[in-house]
Structure 1
Amino acid sequence: MILSKRFISFLNTLFLIASCAVSTSAISQNSLKNKVTTEQVQAELMAHAPDGVDPGKTAWVGLQLSHQPGWHTYWKNSGDSGQPTTLSWTLPTGVLAGDVAWPVPEKLPIGNLANYGYAGTVLLPVPLTITPDFKPSPVNPELVVKLQASWLVCKLECVPQEGEFELRLPVKGSTAVHSGLFEKAFKAQPSRLHDTSSITIQGHSLHVSVAGLPAKLQGQTLDFFPETPEVIETAGQWTQAWQGAVWTADVPISPQRGSSPEEMPLVLATSSGTERLGFATTAKVSGHWPALTAPGAVSTTPRPVPTAAPVPADLPASFWLALLGALLGGMILNLMPCVFPVLAIKVVGFTLQGANHQRLRMGGLAYSAGVVLSFVGLGALMLVLRGAGEQLGWGFQLQTPAVVAALAALFTVIGLNLAGVFEFGQLVPNSLATLEARNPSVDAFLSGMLAVVIASPCTAPFMGASLGLALSLPAAQALLIFAAIGVGMALPYLAASWSPALARRLPRPGAWMNTFRQIMAFPMFATVIWLVWVLGQQSGIDGAAALLTLLLGLALVIWALGLKGRSRVILTTFSIATLALLTATIGQNVMKPAEPGGSSASTALWQSWAPGKVEQLQAEGSPVFVDFTAAWCVTCQYNKKTTLANAEVLADFAARKVTLLRADWTRRDPAITAALAQLGRNGVPVYVLYQSGRTPVVLSEILSTAEVHQALAGLTR
């Protein structure tokens, strides 16, 4: 009777959790609004539909950004640094959003950089095409427009921000309260030129020729804005002239350009009184693009801070050194805390096999094959995606909340199995449950794959340079680097499996093995705690709480499946329904990005890294120390809690007036990936000390206080 009451209380608790999740979801939906205000920007979603939004008509919506004095956001080509504002629309069926009608930007010089963007107030209009497929509700005929927007607002520092907006427009009524603002935005659009424009490559510069400009502009100085990013030296010296009615310019080409286009859309602009005039054209490019001066340069928008040139790929000594570093780094990966449980469970398997040396050796080979092939597979995947233009880095598998959540579920299931809550034979067909007994090599192979998945996100010592070099090498040599990492990781286990002396020293099978098995459940649960913490850095406290709730539901399902008799059918049905309900109501919180204000990357001592921020600080004369880190990187967290928290180290930073930046790579960030690639690295941790006019100093991955003091002592005053 007491057990029954406890069970009913447990069920009530589950229903309460589900009810709270539904309420939380409803509150979240109702909290959407059309205005978001931060310390730097007021963002407001506006609409202009004076004739309603009936099918066949075009309505306009737009995000207005009102900047505080000194702050700015960016145009479609942000220039040397920055990031364009992005708008992601959620619209009903039959309503199509067009491209942003970007107003003419301004050139914003910052130190030795130049950006393109907007200060003051700017409205970014977007046309909505209402097709006949749009079927508004007859009860409440309206058009619901939802927007997820993100923007980077900068002064001397940069702050990434985002907001969710919602508007409800009447289908038949008029929406024209902001007509004056939209009319002003329409006038700020560049006019399209129809005459021929051309660009001729002359050495290391572009000779631009534009015809068809209004006669009243002849003789005036114009601003030049290429829409294609990373082609010209944005802050470089350039000249312009008029040849009759044709405007010409000579613009320097960036030695690290990101593309070699055959056509370049251009915007020319000038100010006439209080009015800003712009003219758009597309120029065909003729001639041969000069060779890049930095082999392996990475193209991104925004462009990362210029750093040391990538490691050259044509030095045999460098390759063999990287191969050795990869081998040693792979061996050190075995020391990662989350790998220990997997290896410990496999070592216990030695005792079960006793003197069967052949089976031990086959298991060692199978485990090693799983490790090496997994590393080679991950390397091949990265090379394929890199060739397709994807910006990835080592550890990318834990930059996705879905992967983190899946691993947490996997380790929860393994932990429950080790603790004796269930046996796999109760959940799967007997043929699968006995697979390990019939073919233990398969189990060893899969264990090797699992070890790679959980160990690879952190670059152990000696691995960072090797991985960075690997992705600048030809494919065959790059895959050798990845294979060397796998061999290094598998080597200790392989040596143990082939050593009869070591096998004889292992304890004999007995009752202790069941106790040891249950003990090993706790490292598994510890790994789950770490994964939930990682997800909390990506999706916030709501995401972590949602994952814990779903794991609880998963544990309930597994427990119910292990029951016998009629109660198994009833409780399994109930538990699966409960898990499905929880997944539907709170599952989206696992994938939802954390709120900008919820990040711990910026503290009283540390500021958040952003593209261009290092150069901005260097222009002010401040040396900069950047910590490239991630929540899933164990080495990063160790260094953060030890060397980077050391009072003497922090005092030395303060005495030398070093600005501390933290680049958080927990979630995928193409700008951080590109910055790492420019340093010749492809994973974290990476620690870099910058000083204007000097080559960046890259420190070791296992950071010591002595090394930091030595690097700081090298700063010039």
Structure 2
Amino acid sequence: MVTTPYVRAELLAHAPQGVAPGQPLWLGLQITHQPEWHTYWKNPGDSGLPTDLAWTLPAGLDAGEIAWPLPKKIPIGTLANYGYEGTVLLPVPVTVASTYAPGPLAKDATIKLRASWLVCRKECIPEEGEFTLQLPIQSTTALNGAAFDAAAKAHPGPVLAGTNGIVPDSQAQLAAEGNTLDVSVQGLPVALRGKTLDLFPETAEVIDNAASWKQSWNGSVWTAQIPLSTQRSASPSLMPVVLAEQSPAHANGPDTRTGYRAELKVLGTWPPVASMTAVSPALEAALKANAAQAGGAATSAAGSGASALTLTAALLGALLGGLILNLMPCVFPVLAIKVVGFTQHAQDRRAHRISGIAYTAGVVLSFMLLGALMLGLRAAGEAVGWGFQLQSPAVVASLAALFTLIALNLAGVFEFGHFLPSSVASLQARHPVADSFLTGVLAVAVASPCTAPFMGASLGLTATLPAPQALAVFAALGLGLALPYLVASFVPAVARALPRPGAWMDTFRKLMAFPMLATVVWLVWVLGQQSGIDGAGALLILLVGLSLVVWALSLAGRARVWMATVSIAAMALLVWAFAPHITHIPTAQAATPSTQASATGWQPWAPGAAEQIVAGGRPVFVDFTAAWCVTCQYNKKTTLADADVLADLQAKNVALLRADWTRRDPAITAALASLGRSGVPVYVFYRPGKPPVVLTEVLSVDEVRATIAQL
């Protein structure tokens, strides 16, 4: 049995007379879906992939094709899929050859199955599992008989009993204009007559699955006018279809419908495929590529893990990404802290080295712990990606408070030693290693969401690697970030280049308070994107109250007692009154980005929106972004605002969608995962009939224009 957050899959068998030549033997995969999740039929419809079963059976046993049960029509926006909800059993008939000889001592036959399926709600998750079953050879396995009997009843039978499904005078006539099929079916059971029916084509990409169409009854003859797909890729002369009473999507309870199968003779001349868009939707291409990648990665993970070449490339990419991360603006405040540390140990080479090692340890361990937390949350079914910590308004507010304290400390408003017992303060002075280690931890907290070039692919790969290999990638990323400081701490020339200790050090330390305050401004702005103007205002009020408390505690004598008491009481009142505004999501906030986006040509992203637009023949550009991603904001103000880029996008009629990941959004997380990414920025062009094109994280005008020219 395989259990995921979305389905439970189990391998079942049914051998009423044991495993013997000429006796019935059925195997099957039973899938139980979580509410509103679904997997797919043999023709998945406008998107998706059918479940695939690969058997490994003893010699003499031969598995047939899946006896697909009757599907449901599942509308997804303006698309329509065919699949299964609730519990479904996919039965497979097995032929036992006359030469089957298990041996005189054999009691069981070992059945192995590797299955892959795509489970979807609004987002789609490719999954797979390996199953092993010891099937008794001599005794019966009647335990699952009811499930297989129900699956047999759910399998569509021929319209007329005893025929091969080709019903006389049942046909599909192509309309003169070539955009509809006029379907006529005779011989349907009396129980269906007069009812509204669903038609499920077994041949994909022929009809418009989501379109509404007319149907009627003329005595025992059912007729319908069904629109052809604008993306037709098949021109069958015989068109097998399944007909059944219409069933609402997400219906509760067991499916009691009965389906009937007929092969329709297609009369008339099909229009040339070239006159239509003979391609699949971009979503299906992406899902196929993603399913193949996920399947290969999962197989690799189950065995020896990633290949040596792939893992080496990921480690080098992470190391380089960590190095480049030092150039990102979000790292600047941590850089300021490290420079202050260098000046404090300018003439002490031993202290330099210890500080560098401690900082490196703090960075590497923090990256590994953060990566382990992300992998653990994913394993538990949570949809999270890299930078998830800054998707929480509470974390953003906490970091803003921490940087405010650091700024006040650097500015000389207070000293940490004044708030600590003398024994603790002297211990801190004697062992500054902890300061360097915690600086490394702080660096990871604020810098990790700023994904740098070459880092996105490496981090995306960690989702498919075994845990030890994934953690090695995170460690390489941390080493890259800490490497410049580690090298500088071991190079004497760095210490010699610094001026000798003097009064300038106090001035420099106070100067470094301003990068901290600038970081606070950025964090307040990020919170404003998450919780609205009221949330940002509430955070500013609390930061003022925090500053008042710190100042009061730095006083001496009776003034400290009185001012500290009053300020702490006032702070408690402020927290009670304003803290709820920080995590609150205002109802008006959702409309603001949409209004701004429409004014600039950008529209908010939604699951399936890009695929729907591409299905109409129009290219789409999606900007996966977040307010806390500095690289995202830089690209937005430069390359994506360039007049030539905007003119090219307009000339090619490119639809612009912006996926805002500032707050946690499982749908965006799933979309990023389908592209092999775990964080932002990600920039993607979706093109009709072609796989998506993912651009680099730091965009250039030339790169974007060159891609647009190829649309």
TM-score class, shorter-chain normalisation, is: 0.5 to 0.7
**1:635 to 2:631 alignment:** yes
Match of 2:611 in 1: 615
Structure 1 pair 278–223 and aligned structure 2 pair: CA distance change class (3 A): farther
User: Among residues 238, 254, 260, which one is paired with 1:281 in the alignment?
Assistant: 254
User: Among residues 664, 668, 693, which one is paired with 1:672 in the alignment?
Assistant: 668
Q: Which moved more, 1:564-573 or 1:456-465?
A: 564-573
Contact 1:304 1:674 in 2 (8 A): no
Aligned length: 476
Contact 1:465 1:681 in 2 (8 A): yes
Deviation, structure 1 residue 647: 0.7
User: Among residues 454, 463, 476, which one is paired with 2:468 in the alignment?
Assistant: 476
| One-letter amino acid of the structure 2 residue matched with residue 596 of structure 1 | A
Secondary structure of the 2:691 match is coil
| One-letter amino acid of the structure 2 residue matched with residue 514 of structure 1 | D
User: Which string of whole-angstrom CA distances, capped at 9 and with x for unpartnered residues, describes residues 143-188 of structure 1?
Assistant: xxxxxxxxxxx9xxxxxxxxxxxxxxxxxxxxxxxxxxxxxxxxxx
Deviation, structure 1 residue 357: 1.8
**1:397 to 2:370 alignment:** no
Match of 1:380 in 2: 372
User: How many angstroms apart in 2 are the aligned matches of 1:700 and 1:606?
Assistant: 20
**Aligned ranges 1:492-511 → 2 under 5 Å:** 492-511=484-503
User: How many angstroms apart in 2 are the aligned matches of 1:277 and 1:77?
Assistant: 9
User: Among residues 507, 514, 522, which one is paired with 1:530 in the alignment?
Assistant: 522
Secondary structure of the 1:628 match is strand
Contact 2:192 2:245 in 1 (8 A): no
User: Among residues 644, 647, 651, which one is paired with 1:651 in the alignment?
Assistant: 647
| One-letter amino acid of the structure 1 residue matched with residue 688 of structure 2 | S
Structure 1 pair 402–303 and aligned structure 2 pair: CA distance change class (3 A): farther
User: How many angstroms apart in 2 are the aligned matches of 1:454 and 1:303?
Assistant: 37
User: Which string of whole-angstrom CA distances, capped at 9 and with x for unpartnered residues, describes residues 539-596 of structure 1?
Assistant: 0000000000111111111111111222222211111111111111121110001432
User: How many angstroms apart in 1 are the aligned matches of 2:360 and 2:480?
Assistant: 10
Match of 2:448 in 1: 456
**Aligned ranges 1:66-81 → 2 under 5 Å:** 76=36
Contact 2:545 2:570 in 1 (8 A): yes
Structure 1 pair 276–596 and aligned structure 2 pair: CA distance change class (3 A): closer
**1:520 to 2:493 alignment:** no
Structure 1 pair 199–335 and aligned structure 2 pair: CA distance change class (3 A): farther
Structure 1 pair 199–327 and aligned structure 2 pair: CA distance change class (3 A): farther
Match of 2:222 in 1: none
Secondary structure of the 1:688 match is strand
Secondary structure of the 2:253 match is strand
Match of 1:425 in 2: 417
Identity %: 59
Contact 2:411 2:510 in 1 (8 A): yes
Deviation, structure 1 residue 423: 1.1
| One-letter amino acid of the structure 2 residue matched with residue 671 of structure 1 | A
**1:332 to 2:327 alignment:** no
User: Which string of whole-angstrom CA distances, capped at 9 and with x for unpartnered residues, describes residues 371-403 of structure 1?
Assistant: 111111111111111111111100000000000
Name structure 2 gaps, 5 residues minimum: 1-34, 40-44, 48-71, 84-121, 123-145, 158-188, 201-207, 212-243, 257-282, 298-305
User: How many angstroms apart in 1 are the aligned matches of 2:346 and 2:252?
Assistant: 81
User: How many angstroms apart in 1 are the aligned matches of 2:407 and 2:467?
Assistant: 39
Secondary structure of the 2:406 match is helix
User: How many angstroms apart in 1 are the aligned matches of 2:360 and 2:374?
Assistant: 21
User: Which string of whole-angstrom CA distances, capped at 9 and with x for unpartnered residues, describes residues 460-483 of structure 1?
Assistant: 111000000111111111111101
Structure 1 pair 661–588 and aligned structure 2 pair: CA distance change class (3 A): same
TM (normalized to structure 2)? Answer: 0.62
User: How many angstroms apart in 1 are the aligned matches of 2:530 and 2:252?
Assistant: 42
User: How many angstroms apart in 2 are the aligned matches of 1:396 and 1:362?
Assistant: 31
| One-letter amino acid of the structure 2 residue matched with residue 527 of structure 1 | T
User: Which string of whole-angstrom CA distances, capped at 9 and with x for unpartnered residues, describes residues 327-355 of structure 1?
Assistant: 01001111222322322322332333243
Secondary structure of the 1:697 match is strand
Deviation, structure 1 residue 109: 6.9
Match of 2:32 in 1: none
| One-letter amino acid of the structure 1 residue matched with residue 254 of structure 2 | T
User: How many angstroms apart in 2 are the aligned matches of 1:81 and 1:408?
Assistant: 46
Match of 1:603 in 2: 598
User: How many angstroms apart in 2 are the aligned matches of 1:346 and 1:505?
Assistant: 15
Secondary structure of the 2:254 match is strand
| One-letter amino acid of the structure 1 residue matched with residue 402 of structure 2 | L
Name structure 1 gaps, 5 residues minimum: 1-74, 83-104, 117-153, 155-195, 210-214, 226-233, 238-267, 284-301
**Aligned ranges 1:98-497 → 2 under 5 Å:** 108=75, 113-114=80-81, 207=155, 217-218=191-192, 270=246, 280-281=253-254, 306=287, 308-309=289-290, 310=293, 313=297, 314-497=306-489
User: How many angstroms apart in 2 are the aligned matches of 1:399 and 1:520?
Assistant: 27
Deviation, structure 1 residue 622: 0.9
Contact 1:305 1:611 in 2 (8 A): no
User: Which string of whole-angstrom CA distances, capped at 9 and with x for unpartnered residues, describes residues 487-513 of structure 1?
Assistant: 101100000000012211111111001
User: How many angstroms apart in 2 are the aligned matches of 1:694 and 1:303?
Assistant: 10
Structure 1 pair 217–418 and aligned structure 2 pair: CA distance change class (3 A): farther
Contact 1:108 1:114 in 2 (8 A): yes
User: How many angstroms apart in 2 are the aligned matches of 1:515 and 1:683?
Assistant: 39
Deviation, structure 1 residue 415: 0.4
Contact 1:395 1:456 in 2 (8 A): yes
**1:713 to 2:709 alignment:** yes
Secondary structure of the 1:281 match is coil
Contact 2:75 2:210 in 1 (8 A): no
Deviation, structure 1 residue 78: 8.8
Deviation, structure 1 residue 76: 4.2
| One-letter amino acid of the structure 2 residue matched with residue 612 of structure 1 | G
Structure 1 pair 78–586 and aligned structure 2 pair: CA distance change class (3 A): farther
| One-letter amino acid of the structure 2 residue matched with residue 651 of structure 1 | A
Secondary structure of the 1:696 match is strand
Secondary structure of the 1:599 match is helix
User: How many angstroms apart in 2 are the aligned matches of 1:216 and 1:685?
Assistant: 58
RMSD over aligned Cα, in angstroms?
A: 3.5
| One-letter amino acid of the structure 1 residue matched with residue 468 of structure 2 | A
Structure 1 pair 377–449 and aligned structure 2 pair: CA distance change class (3 A): same
User: Which string of whole-angstrom CA distances, capped at 9 and with x for unpartnered residues, describes residues 245-280 of structure 1?
Assistant: xxxxxxxxxxxxxxxxxxxxxxx9748xxx999773
**1:593 to 2:593 alignment:** no
Secondary structure of the 1:390 match is coil
User: How many angstroms apart in 1 are the aligned matches of 2:501 and 2:326?
Assistant: 25
Secondary structure of the 1:616 match is helix
Structure 1 pair 561–613 and aligned structure 2 pair: CA distance change class (3 A): same
TM (normalized to structure 1)? Answer: 0.61
User: Which string of whole-angstrom CA distances, capped at 9 and with x for unpartnered residues, describes residues 298-325 of structure 1?
Assistant: xxxx999747424754443232222111
Contact 2:77 2:608 in 1 (8 A): no
Secondary structure of the 1:504 match is helix
Structure 1 pair 617–526 and aligned structure 2 pair: CA distance change class (3 A): same
**Greater gyration radius:** 2
| One-letter amino acid of the structure 1 residue matched with residue 598 of structure 2 | T
User: How many angstroms apart in 1 are the aligned matches of 2:683 and 2:624?
Assistant: 6
User: How many angstroms apart in 2 are the aligned matches of 1:655 and 1:318?
Assistant: 39
Match of 1:661 in 2: 657
Match of 1:166 in 2: none
Match of 1:247 in 2: none
